[in-house]
Structure 1
Amino acid sequence: MIRTAVPDDVPVIHAMVRELAEYEKALHEVRATEEQLRTALFGDHPAAFAHVAEETGEVIGFALWFLNFSTWRGVHGIYLEDLYVRPERRGGGHGKALLTELARICVDRGYERLEWSVLDWNKPSIDFYRSLGATPQDEWTVHRLTDKALTTLAARP
């Protein structure tokens, strides 16, 4: 079952964010707290949204996403920040169901893109995404400013 996340889901979503970061060999980079997630998802001005996969009353996966905008298409799209299904529950169609729900939201709201990033070494995920018809955008490279580089640039006159 796929459903919109509710505030009571925040602790398990936070735990799975950490599990995903550990899988991606980046647990040391996770700074987000449960309270930050709660505010982002359910505060006065939500900046992100989440859906969860539930099986026999237990949350076993999630998709956390936000709106982006294409100046070329002139409409919003969805950027999928994280998709995660606990390893022991993979292969049951939960990841596909989460992506299907996001695709439905796109179509229902007139959004024209559903996008996400995947680590180059994550072959199981790449194969899964390709099986759904997703195409890699090889000609684009993600760039990021964080920490000292971000504050240094912000401090420039």
Structure 2
Amino acid sequence: MAGHNHPLIRPATIDDAETIHAAILGIAEAVGELHKVRSTPDDIRRFGFGPTPAFEALIAEVEGIFAGLCLFFPSFSTWQGRPGVYVQDLFVAKDFRGLGVGEKLLKRLAAVTRERGGHYIRLSVDTGNHSAQAFYQRLGLRLSDAEQIYAAYREDFNALADAGDDEG
């Protein structure tokens, strides 16, 4: 297909919620974590396209066929004193892998971020996903040896929030 070399990159709309969710499921399946996905397309619609969107996404299409997704949200580095973006999800559909779709999505995101005054892209990658790590390094993203990601989810998060309610 000639269009493989020239995907159309466009901002996602609320009409893409099902496609975005399917891509998230594709990522989870690829890393053997499908059982951990709790989100729904309605969550994507509600939190991505409501009055205060929690994220944005870029969609790649080749000849009208979904080829990839880059889901991101604003970030700010207090040490750099500059805004940027955090990439939550990058996904390329199986039929389009190896054709530069992921690279084009990240390059477009970098351009959009710079147009908005941003200065960096951050993301995390599964420790066992060596092909993704090599891909990011090839594009100039570097592994930070100064940081580790910590997270509180579900019960741990609720325990923190409950304790914070007591402090109010």
TM-score between the two structures when normalised by the length of structure 2: 0.89
4+ aligned runs moved over 2 Å, structure 1? none
Between the aligned partners of 1:153 and 1:13, the Cα distance in structure 2 is 30
Aligned residues, how many?
A: 157
Between the aligned partners of 1:54 and 1:144, the Cα distance in structure 2 is 33
User: Secondary structure of the residue that 2:68 maps to in structure 1?
Assistant: strand
Between the aligned partners of 2:162 and 2:50, the Cα distance in structure 1 is 29
The corresponding residue for 1:26 is 33
Query: 1:22-101 maps to which residues of 2 (within 5 A)?
Result: 22-101=29-108
For residue 20 of structure 1, what is the amino acid of its counterpart? I
Between the aligned partners of 1:120 and 1:139, the Cα distance in structure 2 is 16
The corresponding residue for 2:122 is 115
Kindly indicate whether the alpha-carbon contact (under 8 Å) linking 2:58 and 2:69 is maintained by their aligned counterparts in 1. yes
1:22-43 Cα deviation digits (max 9, x unpaired):
1122111111111110122211
1:33-86 Cα deviation digits (max 9, x unpaired):
111101222111111000001011011210000001111122211000000001
Deviation at 1:142, TM superposition (A): 0.4
Between the aligned partners of 1:27 and 1:102, the Cα distance in structure 2 is 26
For residue 76 of structure 1, what is the amino acid of its counterpart? P
User: Secondary structure of the residue that 1:155 maps to in structure 2?
Assistant: helix
Between the aligned partners of 1:80 and 1:153, the Cα distance in structure 2 is 25
Identity of aligned residues (%): 36
Deviation at 1:139, TM superposition (A): 2.4
The corresponding residue for 2:5 is none
For residue 55 of structure 1, what is the amino acid of its counterpart? V
